[in-house]
């Protein structure tokens, strides 16, 4: 396991994987909101964009005052300066992954970064 880390996590309200996986280039969190619940604060970032993937359920994000409907299978990228808050729908829980990385830091990806 010198070149990888593996963990199993319970479906808690929020699990941050940074320390659990010894991440060095990103923060990844798993989030579960029960029906009718919301993140209790609005936030933005200094340098990091966030990518949200909706794993199950439905809800909405309010991004810079605009309500954006969310459902399983949706992916949303949010720039650092955008103010955001997330909510489960009144009748359905929502589960999502949040990937946080420094904006404009990706130098190469997929085949450009691969060594075959």
- As a whole number of angstroms, the distance between CA 87 and CA 54 comes to 12
Over residues 30-85, the pLDDT tens digits come to: 999 999 999 999 999 999 999 999 999 999 999 999 999 999 999 999 999 999 99
- As a whole number of angstroms, the distance between CA 84 and CA 87 comes to 10
* pLDDT in the model for residue 2: 85
- What global pTM score does this model have? 0.92
Burial 67-101 (b: 16+ CB within 10 A, else e): ebebeeebebebeeebebebbbbeebbbbbbbbbb
- As a whole number of angstroms, the distance between CA 99 and CA 46 comes to 15
Compute CA 98 distance to the chain's CA centroid, rounded to the nearest angstrom. 1
Query: What's the sign of the alpha-carbon dihedral 47, 104, 15, 67?
Result: positive
CA angle 103, 109, 112 (to 5 degrees): 140
């Amino acid at each position: 396991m010198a070149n990888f880390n593996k963990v199993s996590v319970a479906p808690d309200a929020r699990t941050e994987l940074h320390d659990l996986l010894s991440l060095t280039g990103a923060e990844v969190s798993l989030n579960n909101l029960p029906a009718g619940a919301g993140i209790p604060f609005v936030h933005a970032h200094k340098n990091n964009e966030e990518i949200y993937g909706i794993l199950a359920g439905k809800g909405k994000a309010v991004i810079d005052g605009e309500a954006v409907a969310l459902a399983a299978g949706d992916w949303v990228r949010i720039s650092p300066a955008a103010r955001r808050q997330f909510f489960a729908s009144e009748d359905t829980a929502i589960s999502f992954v949040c990937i946080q990385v420094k904006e404009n830091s990706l130098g190469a990806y997929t085949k450009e970064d691969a060594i075959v």
